[in-house]
Structure 1
């Protein structure tokens, strides 16, 4: 399988992006060991929009790695998506899916990447309970409900989601070794050996 790894972490204020870089590299090493072909982009190092469109077209799967900042992605990853997805007009998506005959229906159905998948791997200082428990901060919506707009941006291109991986409590109660092992297991479960 051809997999594009996008590291959306960035250096900003007190964040150095080290843990997300670690997880990005775990994914790279694990997937290569499983026999998959990998390309990568580190958003904080800059990118060429047209090259990124080609990488997305090349990939069967995109794995996004990023920290949850203010209930979403770091701003450079959002800018990456705005710039690269827009540059991909006619290649990543044809239109917004609607027709003038019925302009209220089929919004978001104009994507061209129907055979592609995407996966989120994200880190949060929030504990898992903040996502899972009704009455807690995210009111039981779970991580995927919290990230609805991120999912919809990728689904607008026609891609379908793979199971999200989330690491919690990364500042107040970090458990890096446990997270790394859990991520390797997740990658094995989702992708398995390329030769299987």
Structure 2
């Protein structure tokens, strides 16, 4: 049995294409792998605070030296990190906002990319500790940005995941969604065609 962790990051709870892709992914994955467990964390509903001094200072102290606020911040980060550590498959649903990712997803990454936990520093440089995991990134884009210098979404996420040792990453882009009905239809069809092959 594999454990799948899904991270929803669209600010829109209705009418979101990235959420449609997630629903398609989950349905197809469950049909092909009924024994697997799927955990969904919705960052629009369960918001993750931005990295702040309470979390930074909490990380730097032993648990018995943390104050109440630091302890709560560290506990939240530990919960998110433990979910990632336990997962065999990670799914990031990420609409493109201003050429990159939603700030909520960046906040989640700031909580789980942790030295000594998901990566470590060595004499030869950083080493990811999450080897053996697979990741799927489902994106929704108003324009067409793949291969463009304006795409700061895929390069960043690919680098962030590789940094913690996740190199088996599949990106599925639904693009051109705001360029008219024909582009919308083609963009969704292409993404769903790719989704049908992942489970």
Provide the TM-score with structure 1 as the length reference. Answer: 0.72
What residue is the counterpart of 2:72 in the other structure? Answer: none
Q: Which of residues 164, 175, 187 in structure 2 aligns to 1:157? A: 164
1:170 is aligned to 2:170 = no
After superposition, residues 20-169 of structure 1 pair within 5 angstroms as 20-35=18-33, 36-46=36-46, 48-86=76-114, 89-93=115-119, 95-96=120-121, 98-99=122-123, 106-108=124-126, 110-127=127-144, 130-132=145-147, 138=148, 147-169=154-176
What residue is the counterpart of 1:103 in the other structure? Answer: none
What's the CA shift string for 1:101-122, capped at 9, x where partnerless?
A: xxxxx433x2111111212110
Structure 1: distance between partners of 2:7 and 2:93:
6
3-state SS of the aligned residue for 1:154? helix
Which structure shows the higher strand fraction?
2
Aligned pairs, how many? Answer: 167
Structure 2: distance between partners of 1:125 and 1:151:
20
Q: Which runs of 5+ in 2 are unaligned?
A: 49-75
Structure 2: distance between partners of 1:51 and 1:17:
29
Runs of 4+ in 1 over 3 A off after TM superposition: 174-185
Alpha-carbon deviation of 1:149? 2.0
Provide the TM-score with structure 2 as the length reference. Answer: 0.71
What's the CA shift string for 1:138-182, capped at 9, x where partnerless?
A: 25x9x6x86222211111111113321000111222566665554
Please, which moves more after superposition, 54-63 or 171-180? 171-180
3-state SS of the aligned residue for 1:27? helix
Structure 2: distance between partners of 1:41 and 1:183:
22
Alpha-carbon deviation of 1:78? 0.4
Q: Which runs of 5+ in 1 are unaligned?
A: 100-105, 133-137, 192-196
